């Protein structure tokens, strides 16, 4: 008689996040109040959907919570991009003597 073999279960895979089609751009009038998931907002930001999700969990950025899910409005996406945009440096003009 042989001992039973230990079995290893396969790691659980998370389903891919669902991304809706034909979303309005955050800069448009319609997009300003539209609610995007972090994965839907990612193409307009310098971050991935996972990074945005982590930033929301750490409360580093503004977001909308509807009691179950986290969303970003178009206005919040635009503000996030502006917050992390590096402006070019310009020398101050010399004071006239």
Token representation of residue 86: 């590096």
Q: What is the pTM of this model?
A: 0.74
Token representation of residue 60: 């580093």
Place of tokens 């279960």: 9
Place of tokens 């070019």: 88
Give the confidence band of 8 by pLDDT, cuts at 50, 70, 90.
confident
Any idea where the domains of the chain sit in the sequence?
Answer: 37-83
Residues 52, 72 contacting (CB under 8 angstroms):
yes
Nearest C-alpha neighbor of 53 from the set 66, 36, 67? 36
pLDDT the model gives residue 97: 59
Quote the longest CA-to-CA distance of the chain. 102
pLDDT tens column, 25-64: 999 999 999 999 999 999 999 999 999 999 999 999 999 9
**Neighbouring-strand partners of residue 73:** 35
């Amino acid at each position: 008689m042989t001992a039973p073999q230990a079995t290893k279960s396969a790691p659980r895979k998370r389903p891919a996040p669902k991304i809706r089609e034909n979303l309005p751009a955050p800069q448009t009038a319609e997009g300003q109040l539209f609610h995007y998931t972090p994965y839907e907002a990612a193409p307009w930001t310098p971050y991935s959907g996972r990074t945005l999700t982590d930033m929301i969990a750490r409360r580093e950025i503004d977001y909308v919570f509807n009691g179950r899910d986290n969303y970003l409005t178009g206005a919040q996406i635009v503000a996030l991009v502006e917050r992390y945009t590096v402006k070019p440096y310009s020398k101050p003009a010399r004071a006239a003597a």
